[in-house]
Structure 1
Amino acid sequence: MSSCKITKNAFLWGMAAIYLFAFSSLYVQIPGLYGDNGILPARLAVGKAAKSFADLLDGHPTLLRLMPMIGLDTETGLDLLCILGILISFAALLFQAARDVFAFTLLWMLYLSIYQVGQTFMWFQWDILLLEAGFLTILVAPLNIQLPKKYRMSIHHEHDSITLWLVKWLLFRLMFASGVVKLTSGCPTWWGLTALSVHFESQCIPTPLAWYWHQFPEWFLKLSCVATYVIEMAVPFLFFAPVRGLKIFAFYAQVSYI
């Protein structure tokens, strides 16, 4: 049970860090992407201002519809949502008590609100993944309710460890589907094991090591394609293995792949 608690705490800490990077990255890009003079002004995607809770949920729900009620325009509202996200995630990163269901519910709502007006720039796989993982984080996070001192008690409830299986299931679907789609796409480079010969020079966000990996001989890159299939389609089944050693092997296989 203690190992499960450690795993939960590590997962929640990691999600807080991811939210912090996500909101910080969005904050500096808002003027150029979603400002009034940006590439895709968010005010055009917000829709009508919400006058009731039903209006807020109509269509694509976003907290930005509430901004006119407090005298803020859409761009300033986006800044506010990002700043709130940065502050909450930073607090959750530093303090374990702040990593609870309330904090992660707020973070999920803030990111969803921005995603709803993000348009083309937030249609990537990782944005959807963060929303799904963020929702699961709400289920994993403990419910902390601190009562007044005069009652001399506090309620600290952690959800059942079954919620971690939902996280494993998400990771399994992500990795397994990533492998299957390579084959079902019918792409001749993946079927011919030559995909990595061009991958490192054409990936959308190349890493500093991409150039060096591109220099490896063709036989090694083909072998790496085979390893990719194994790691993405075979190893994920070990996430649910009853033997701890197999789970550890699956963990290191995924880390080395990433």
Structure 2
Amino acid sequence: MQTFSLASLMPSLLQLAKDAGQAIMQVYNQPASFTQVTLKSDQSPLTQADQAAHDIISTGLATLTPDIPVLSEEGKLVPYEERRNWKYYWCVDPLDGTKEFISRNGEFTVNIALMANNKPVAGVIYAPVPDELYYTDGQNGAFKQIGNQPEIKLQVSGKTENLVIVKSRSHSTPEEITFLQSFPVSDEVRIGSSLKFCLIAEGRAQLYYRYGPTMEWDTAAGQAILAQAGGQLTQPNGESFPYNKPNLLNGSFLCTGWQ
């Protein structure tokens, strides 16, 4: 980075993710009848928690890096003509896994990624319920920290046989089932939100294929962490995954615990 050391910024970035997580938990711990759920224009659910986390993250990032714009799921949609020439920007999902939040299964996360030349170079994923942080500064590996315990360096398993595949808790398609039949799979695990990337990064699973639609802020932080742990996220044909597209909707992708 030209204006700051990302490594030195990480403690503040991790705390920002935790602060957003705490705001989410204040809503999550209310009786379900008190949680207001509305629908976005695409009919996906929006809770008070989404907006509270967005406000904390956007304000915090503006203080930490005032010259770097923020692209957030809950923020004002930035026209492509304005963002197409961004060299750096933050790609944020304040609450990934809103359906998991609403169903009260704890499998939701806060996602923050730093993009450089339209590639995820650093990322933070925070799961508030188990108090688990996954993160990378893009240069020194990827790490996991549970509560205040010492951080653990993440490493993919590297296995290419007897694979454990990770699937979405809320989404599944016939196309995914067909695609995965070509791999030597021995088991599967289902989990919500960006935690799927984390399971591969820490070696507990090796394969995740997504056919259905996601948004760029759903994948950016996970891709940065997975890459630093030794895995990768690509298009199904092996080509690099595009970001900052005119339409922020993602196509299909494949995550592997090897490169």
TM-score bracket, shorter-length normalisation: under 0.3
Higher RCO structure, 1 or 2 (CA under 8 Å, sep 6+): 2
- More strand by percentage: 2
| TM-score (ref. length: structure 2) | 0.24
- More helix by percentage: 1
Q: Which has the larger radius of gyration?
A: 1
| TM-score (ref. length: structure 1) | 0.24
